[in-house]
Chains A and B, each alone.
Chain A
Amino acid sequence: MAGPLKILDGIALRAAPGDSLSIMGPSGSGKSTLLSILGALEPPSSGTMRLDGQDPFSMPEPELAAFRNRAVGFVFQDHCLLPQCTVLENALIPAMARGGNAAEDEARARKLLDRVGLGGRLTHLPSQLSGGEKQRVAIARALIREPKLMLCDEPTGNLDRTSAGAVADLLFGLHREQSVILVIVTHSEALAGKAERRYELNAGRLMGLGS
């Protein structure tokens, strides 16, 4: 009988606001698992993860969720938009999770969507958007709560070269504007190359590739 599988081993990673990191690696190397740990979605079997001085995995589940909501923004390869919600509503989804000033949230969402070039598509449904447009909605959604950390899992993996380039430019442009820590997991050399620090994950071990 096979024993437990070690996916990540001895990972040590530190980043400061405004840093951008890219992680590459073959399929099954543990990239998504690392991203889940960084995003406080899954606890590591050993070791710790701290963001803004807090260990999210020591928090009870509701606080953990609230932590993710305010500190982390996600962009997935498959944009994960709610098909029943409009562009504006999709961008507002994280804001709705914790309540707050709805008018301010809406204004911020409109501004972000305007920034990502979708100011004229606010009432459109995801089914009426192209792949690149959907991913731009996902980026706006990731930034709506002004997170400290923005995690992107193959954000251009489903896009054509032109769209991928546009999305990449947008991601890094917003990263600079918002001064968040940007972590991108990707197979794309081009996208990885835009990050300040590049890493490769192989057999669970993280190796720096330089800046």
Chain B
Amino acid sequence: MTTATLIRRGLAYYRRTNLAVVAGVATAVAVLAGAFLVGDSVRSSLRRIAVERIGNTQSLLTATNLFREQLAGAFGDACPMIVLEGIVTHQNSGRRASGVMVYGVDSRFWKFHGKASPGIANRDIALSAPLAAELGAAAGDTILLRLEKPTDIPAESLFGRKDDAAPTIRFNAKSVLASSELGEFSLRPTQGSVRAIFVPLDRLQSEIGASGRVNTILTGTTAAPVEQILDSAWTIEDLGLRIKALDEAGVIQFETASGIIPDALADAARSVAGGLGLRVTPVLTYMATTLRAGDREIAYSLVAAIDLAELDERFKDTATDATIVFNEWAARDLNPREGTPVTMEYLYWHADGRLTTEKAQFTAGGVVPIEGLAADRDLSPEYPGITDAENVSDWDPPFPVDLSRIHDRDEEYWDRYKTTPKAWIRIDRGQRLWQSRWGKVTALRMEPPEDQDDEEALNKAATEFRQRLRAVVKPEENGLAVIPLRARNEEAARGATDFGEYFSYFSFFLMVSALLLAALFFRLGIEQRYSEIGLLRSVGFDASRIRKLFLSEGMVLALSGALVGALGAVAYAWTILYGLGTWWSGAVGTSALSLTVSPGPLAAGVMGGVLAAMLAILLTLRGIRDWSPRSLLAGAAAHGVASSKSRARWVAIGAGLAAAGLLAAGGAGAIPAAGGFFGGGMLALVAALALLRARLQTATSRLVRSRAGLALRNLSHRPGRTVLSAALIASATFLIVSVEAFRRDPHALQSDRHSGAGGFPLIGESVRPIYLNPNSERADLNLPETPGLRFVPLRLRPGDDASCLNLYQPQNPRILGLPDSLMKEGRFSFAAGSWKDLEADAADGAIPAVADANSMQYVLHKSIGDELLLPGGQRLRFVAALSDSIFQSEILIAERSFIRAFPRQQGFRVFLIEAPEVGRKETVAAIESALADHGLDVTATADRLAAFHRVENTYLSTFQSLGALGLLLGTIGLAAILFRNVYERRREFGLLAAVGYSRADLSRLVLTENLALLAVSLAIGAGTAALAIAPVLASRGVRFSAVSMGCLLLAVLATGLIATAVATRLALRLPLVESLRSG
């Protein structure tokens, strides 16, 4: 006989109890390792989705403007394409999908990705399967595409196209591409389905007037080599810059395709020109709608702001800030004498989308002949629709023109001089009047030294200027960027949400229940063997050897449980992932998650589970040293009643004080309220259970006078077990009540200005920017004149969804620019900080930013004061956090910061809308109809919040479901305890039966005992949970659902009663009379 034999015999003889221990450990291991597997599987799935959707792309070159398609040739095996966003309509059904990815591709795209080409050409296109399903489109159907035509000229400048930049293109659906055929190609990682159309590149280029130009090049190499190649391959023209040697004028002119030179670029060009000894003259040309002198006026004249001395030396000393110089033609029309007051009217485009006519007063300062600089047509930038028109009456400008004001003389001037300015003002005055965020010069004219003014010298100087300018201009600062797409997507696939962590939390109660169950059965097993332990002690085994013996048995049981649990973990993870794809799909927005069984997470979970089980077993065995052999031989361990009572009292006092401290600190705002109250509530739960334990041991001080009293007294028979049962029920109640309280009601208080919707019932988002102010320019936008209808337009820099709807870690989140007026209204409520914090600019250049508290904490993983570096180099610093708002998908910055940081993002795409409740549905329909070409979708803010809450509520449901499983295990444990209690008390019941208690009496007695236990447990759980959720209750007023809470508690009560009834029934079936004899 060896120790091993003893262990083997023990394991075999007590196999029933041991199997229960194994089952408990297996459950704990399955739950823990399963949670880890879930986390790993979600990450793997996200990575798979993100990587599959970019095909063979490693990195890409992208630009805010179009650049030369030939640039792709420099990168070898690369694929040029156009990537835009559009609105797609199925002609037959009229079904519309906005925000559809539009890819202009040719055979190189399919070859690059190693996929079979769908053979699209001319007007044939391919659709992604999800888009085809949404539209109900099939091969052969007609598809209408409307998209924002890329333009070099800023749409928010006077000359930018606003109203007709979106041509509608008719296509024929040739095929529907499955995701395996790259139908769901996507440059932005998203777990949701991708709605995309693939259009022939040349057709798209032709439709948008961009022949030979693209905005994206996919490459099969990593970013570093692509950057190196780009460094040598890009040209000035790729950035939309132009350098012209104007032989006639003897100058080099630097301008941009946008018609205005950004300040930084102008400074760089000046510096380069200075280095080459070129004399620089800045020019700012603008359109005056009216030039009026006395009762004469001329319409639609180009006016150039320049150093007037360049026109004529005489102006060097005479020109003032108010001086306006006319050419002979204009002078003939206006007949201004020197000193005559001249009024200039011009259109000005404001940042808030208003177009106004401004006036400026001048004094006629002289007349110049139309020659030399005054005859230079190149002073005006090229504006499509104006500068390329044959006649003035053919103008198609992006601003209102009254053609009735055009006269024959104007046409004649146009015929002879085209864009030659008619009037001139000083550059500094012109810049004060017309400068914009895009810049304050339309051209820089650079004149070589007088001894180098021949054509050859000019060309040489131009070439040198070009080379030096290229050396100082950085492509990435001018919209041409290399993005390490695959690396970025892989980084994003690490996920905003660590599902492993979440499910570990969610499963915590389940795991603890399983471990408690394992420990409980182990303990019951030990209790069955008291006399064996007593015998071993009496024959010379010391306590530590006996403990090792039982620990060895425990180890065998734990490892056996771990083996079974490892298999269970795979099943558990599969079930959870199945649940995420079906029952809880609201939390993940995809059904494409699949199980990946990696040894790492599985081993970590198994080890964690085994360690926890061994710890539970160790704790069970810790008192073995103190048990007396005599009492053990008699079949009972000696319990230090007094010391455990005292210990329980101290635990109650300690935990109670700590709970009070946390609650007070949370209430005073010294620590986060949620943490303070939740921690306080949990400690209060511990304190209450310890108090119960202490009270049970002093229960004999009052005389039992009734059967109910006897039932209550019975609870003190095994106080440890009673408290364990109470702990299981109270913890489950605590969990269910506290979790339920966090369930969000999206319809709550949405009309309140301080709610998450800021009092706006509606929010709209357009695919194409809207440039006109929808309040002041309502008629132009065909918007309804509904009284009470008000829009707050917001600027949007598209990017990754920063909310819990996006499983990927946002690398480049959406940014919204908020006008000062909205911030001054003081709407929404803050978890930290306020709108005022957005006002102050940081001295170090960081942009103050606000995010929703949930997104900041759980998705962006940031805190107040943290910074977020955007791929474009902008640094955002979080200064405030909104509380449960509709802005969970984006980061908010002040509009002025937005304009500075994202000058290329134009117009408004997001609209907060106030609309009267009566007829709101009709108003929404009218708004959407008016702005259908812009792809505006208006939704109720409550629905938007509901989408976020659905995720949160789904997590809570998941938590509750797993908690319910934990409760089920707890109930099994409770039933086991009850059965054990009743079994141990069968002699007592025999006695009671003998003295006249009927079986019904006995059942009632046991039920009363356990009903009391359940009631106390529920009260402890619900009461301490109420403390934990106090801030939530306070913040939501009285909207907490007492009915649903009551139902949940009743469910817990019913579960407990069922367990009691089953245990009692089983126990009372035992032969009670026999038990009386056995003594």
Contacts and interface: CB of A to CB of B under 8 A. Distances in A.
A65 B1079 contact: no
A85 B710 contact: yes
Q: Which of B700, B993, B994 has the most CB of A within 10 A?
A: B994
Interface in B704-753: 704-707, 710, 713-714, 716-717
B1079 A86 contact: no
B400 interface: no
Contacts of B714: 82, 84
The list of the 10 closest CB pairs from A to B, nearest first, reads: A69-B996, A78-B1079, A65-B998, A94-B995, A80-B991, A84-B717, A97-B996, A62-B998, A89-B704, A68-B996
A84 B701 CA distance: 11
A74 B707 contact: no
Contacts of B14: none
A141 B703 CA distance: 16
Given A42-B1073, A141-B995, 13 more contacts: A61-B999, A62-B998, A65-B999, A68-B994, A72-B996, A77-B1079, A80-B1079, A82-B713, A82-B988, A84-B714, A93-B710, A93-B991, A145-B996
Chain A CB count within 10 A is highest, among B713, B717, B993, B1077, for B1077
A93 B992 contact: yes
A102 B707 CA distance: 11
Given A74-B991, A78-B1079, A96-B707, A61 B998 contact: yes
B997 A65 contact: yes
B993 A41 contact: yes
B707 A97 contact: yes
- Describe B's contact surface by its main secondary structure: helix
B987 A80 contact: yes
Interface string A69-92: 110111011101011111011001
B711 to A, nearest CB: 10
Contacts of B716: 84
Interface of A: 32, 36, 39, 41-42, 61-62, 64-70, 72-74, 76-78, 80, 82-86, 88-89, 92-94, 96-98, 102, 106, 123, 125, 141-142, 145, 153
Contacts of A65: 993, 996-999, 1001
Contacts of B993: 41, 65, 68
Nearest to B987: A80
A97 B995 contact: yes
A88 B1076 contact: no
24 contacts: A32-B1077, A36-B1073, A39-B994, A65-B993, A66-B996, A68-B996, A78-B1079, A80-B987, A80-B1076, A82-B991, A84-B700, A84-B717, A85-B700, A85-B710, A86-B700, A86-B703, A88-B703, A92-B705, A94-B996, A96-B710, A97-B996, A97-B1001, A102-B706, A106-B705
B1006 to A, nearest CB: 14
Nearest to B696: A84
B1000 interface: yes
Nearest to B641: A127
Contacts of B997: 65, 69, 97
A41 B706 contact: no
A199 B994 CA distance: 24
A135 to B, nearest CB: 12
A93 B995 contact: yes
A44 to B, nearest CB: 13
Most chain A CB atoms below 10 A, which of B990, B993, B1079: B1079
Contacts of A80: 987-988, 990-991, 1076, 1079
A89 B713 contact: yes
Contacts of A76: 991, 1076, 1079
A36 B990 CA distance: 11
A119 to B, nearest CB: 15
Interface string B959-998: 0000000000000000000000000000110111111111
A6 B824 CA distance: 99
A189 B1073 CA distance: 26
B777 to A, nearest CB: 84
Contacts of B713: 82, 84-85, 89
Contacts of B995: 68-69, 73-74, 93-94, 97, 141-142, 145
Most interface-central of B710, B990, B1076 (chain A CB within 10 A): B1076
Interface string B667-701: 00000000000000000000000000000000110
A103 to B, nearest CB: 9
A74 B1079 CA distance: 14
A102 B994 contact: no
A67 B1028 CA distance: 53
Contacts of A64: 998
Contacts of A62: 998, 1000
Contacts of B1000: 61-62
Contacts of A96: 704-707, 710
Contacts of A41: 993-994, 1073, 1076
